[in-house]
Structure formats: structure tokens, C-alpha cells
Amino acid sequence: MKKRFCDYRPCVLRIVHCLLPIAYCLLSITSSAQIAKHKIAIFAPLYLDSAFDGQNNYRYEKQFPKFINPGLEFYEGAQLALDTLAKEGAQVEAFVYDTRSKESLAPQLEKIGNDSVELILAYTSQQESVSIANAAKSNKIPYINVNLPNDAAITNNPYFVMLNSTLQTHLDRVYKYVQKNYALDPVIVFRRKGQMEDIIKTSFEETGKSSPSVKMKYVDLTDSFNVNQLMSKLDSNHHTVCIAGSLNENFGRRLCQELASISKQYPLTLVGMPTFDNLTKDFTGPQYKGLEIVYSTPFYNPRTDKVSQDITNYFNTKMYARPSDMVMRGYEATWRFSKLLLEYGSELPSNINHKAFNVFRELDIQPVINRQTTTLDYYENKRLFFVKWQDGIIKGASSL
């Protein structure tokens, strides 16, 4: 099955590579016809020019480079959403731009004005996001970013929307989650020494000034800490909430393993940072047995709804694979914001935070106000889910 999937991926790329120029022409023809369609632009790193040579031959034989995966998966999800919209008779046409093509981003961005684009969806790097956000602002087009967990220093741009929540939002919600669920328990923040760790500590302290305070004890550890150092801070007679006060994945992994080894003697819950979402494959291992692990994520999808199941079935039967989270993000963003565009048309910018057309999860898109200027910097999804793992499975999830 793996071999069939590996063989299939180059075929997908070849089809996309061949169809994109043709699709662009067809879209141009369509746009000149009498039927008025709403137009969207999709930016993704597809690497089509580097994946094929001048004779349209795939360069990697039966291999499939991992660096191509995220952008292609985002595109696959977006294409499935466009197919769904087409079946509904929605008047939407899409222009797809490969941010890793031989053509640089700047001339691609010039086209969005000429193509009368009304909505931009993108999977980008930070630098690309700044350029797209500037173009979106100049053309007054909403720009939806699906992957970046930070604002890339973009300010004063009411057309920029982040679906991936910032670290500050995560920290604010972690504090409130502990406050809500473990108000009477001792709370210990295990941390490394470092700049990001200081930012996390400062954020917790600032949040505590404006809401009922959670008494947090901070414990600094070296990267080679051992279980005895953790045990000395715990009480076997009381449930303790431990917070991983670092984004470092190796630190988080080691903290999970060491706490799991003593979870029978010490009742405790470990609350992790959003980077714990990258450790979920580890959590199924026996070395984590017994430990209750909680972390926040904006992209929780149990895949029990009909749309998720349909997408999963499609990938299983057509691609011999399981759809990644990025496929789901591509589908969700394309379907949801296209529906909003169809609903509000030119008024979409002022209705970008409307709560209609949720697909897999609830979004809570809120304005982020600059404290110094009191002006709107951008919009951000503030809805987070707290996923609880124990004994290798997800025990539950709650939103905040």
C-alpha cells in the first residue's frame, strides 16, 4: 500500500503541473463570459517547477520529498472544497499560485488585482505572509492564513486573518483553563532558562494581574534534569498541576516521560504548550502510560462528522492514504470563507468574523487591537481546544 501511495504522489503532481496553466486559461475565459463568479486566490508552496524538468519529467523517480507535502496537502483539501462548491452550483472560481515557482511572488501578487480576486487563502512562510498581507491591504481583499502561529509583525491591517492562534492566545487560555479546572490544586511550572521561557512566565504573571490569580511556582531545570528533581517538588498526598513552561519539544518530551514514570505515586496532570501537538505520536508509547497530558490546539478535529468521514473515505479509496490535518485545513478554509464570500460579496471584509459556515470546529475570529495605537492590527481565531491524552488515547476535549 505504501508503494502504491508513493507511486501515486508523483502522478498527482504531474496532473497539477499540467492542469494549472490550462486551468488559468479556462478561468480567464470564464471570467470574460456573462456569468459573474466570485474569485479567490490560493497561494501554496507546490514546488512544481523544481519537481519537473523542462520535458515535464518528474525528477524524484519513485520518491516523494517531504518538503512538498504541506503545500500539496493544503491544495488537495482546497480542491476538494472547490469540487463540493461546484456540486452545490456555487459561482466560485479559483486562481492557484505556486509560491515556489520560477516566477517570484511579487508578479503573482500583481495579478490578483487584474484578476479581480475577492478572497486570498494561503499556506505561507513568514516573509511571504508579509508580502501577501500588504497586497491584500492595498487591494482591500481579505487574506486568510491557515498555518502561521504568529502575526509576522503585521500591524494595522484589517484584511489579515490568522486561523492558527498566537502563542499569547495559547498562554492566556492555558492560564484560564487551569484557573477554571484546578483552582484548588498546587501549580508548578517546570521550565528551562531562555528568552521564550521568560516570555511565557511574564505572560502568566500579566494575566494573573487582570483575573483571579493562579498561584504558580516556577522551577528551573537543565536539559538533563532527572526524575528526582521533579519528585522533590511534588506532594504524593495532593493532586498537582504541572505546566511545561517551554516550547522546546525535547524538553516537553523528557518532562512527559519522567512524570509518567512516577504518575502512580504522585497524582498529577501535565499541561503542555501548543508544541505538544507535535508529540502526539509519542504519546501512544508505553513510556507515557498513566500520565494525564493536556495541551491546547486550535485545530482539533475528531473526524466523526460526515464531511471528515467522506474526505477520509476518498483518500483511502483514491490515494491509499489518510488525509493529513493540512488537507482538512485546506478544505475548511476554502469552503467556509468561500461560503462567506457568496453570502456577503463585497461586504465580506466587514463580516469576516461571522460565525456561520463552521465545518469541523467552531472558529472565534476576533479583532486584535494594538495597545499603543488602539487600532485594529488584524483578526485572529481565538477558539482553542484542550485535548486530554492518557494511556495512548484521547480521553476528551473541551473548548475555551
Condensed to tens digits (0 to 9), the pLDDT of residues 109-132 reads 999 988 899 999 999 999 999 999
Instruction: Give span(s): CATH 3.40.50.2300, the chain.
Output: 2-165+303-363, 167-297+386-399
Q: Which residue in 243, 275, 247 sits closest to 259, CA to CA?
A: 243
Q: What is the pLDDT of residues 192-220, one digit of tens each?
A: 999 999 999 999 999 988 877 889 999 99
Fold of 167-297+386-399: Rossmann fold (3.40.50)
Q: What percentage of the chain's residues is helix, strand, coil (to nearest 5)?
A: 45, 20, 35
pLDDT for residue 26? 36
Fold of 2-165+303-363: Rossmann fold (3.40.50)
**What confidence tier does 4 reach under pLDDT thresholds 50, 70, 90?**
very low
Q: Which residue in 164, 123, 103, 115 sits closest to 141, CA to CA?
A: 115
Q: Please report how the helices 69-87 and 306-318 are oriented relative to each other, as an axis angle in degrees rounded to 10.
A: 120
CB 274 within 8 A of CB 170: yes
pLDDT for residue 209? 86
**What confidence tier does 185 reach under pLDDT thresholds 50, 70, 90?**
very high
In this prediction the pTM is 0.88
Name the average pLDDT for the chain.
Answer: 89
Please report, rounded to a whole number, the percentage of residues in the chain having pLDDT higher than 70: 88
All residues at 6 or more sequence positions from 80 whose CB lies less than 8 Å from its CB, including other chains: 311, 314, 327, 330, 331
Strands, E assignment, the chain: 38-44, 92-98, 119-122, 143-145, 160-162, 187-191, 216-220, 240-244, 268-271, 292-297, 365-369, 376-381, 385-390, 393-399
pLDDT for residue 63? 63
Count each helix (H run) and each strand (E run) in the chain, helices first: 12, 14
User: What are the two backbone dihedrals, phi and then psi, of residue 244, each rounded to the nearest 5 degrees?
Assistant: -80, 105
pLDDT for residue 32? 38
**What confidence tier does 72 reach under pLDDT thresholds 50, 70, 90?**
very high
* DSSP three-state, residue 308: helix
C-alpha separations of 184 from 157, 253, 266, 272, 383 in Å: 42, 27, 17, 19, 25
pLDDT for residue 65? 73
Span 67-82, average pLDDT: 93
Q: What is the pLDDT of residues 277-306, one digit of tens each?
A: 999 999 999 999 999 999 999 999 999 999
Q: Which of 14-18, 81-85, 273-277, 316-320 has the lowest mean pLDDT?
A: 14-18
CB 254 within 8 A of CB 242: no
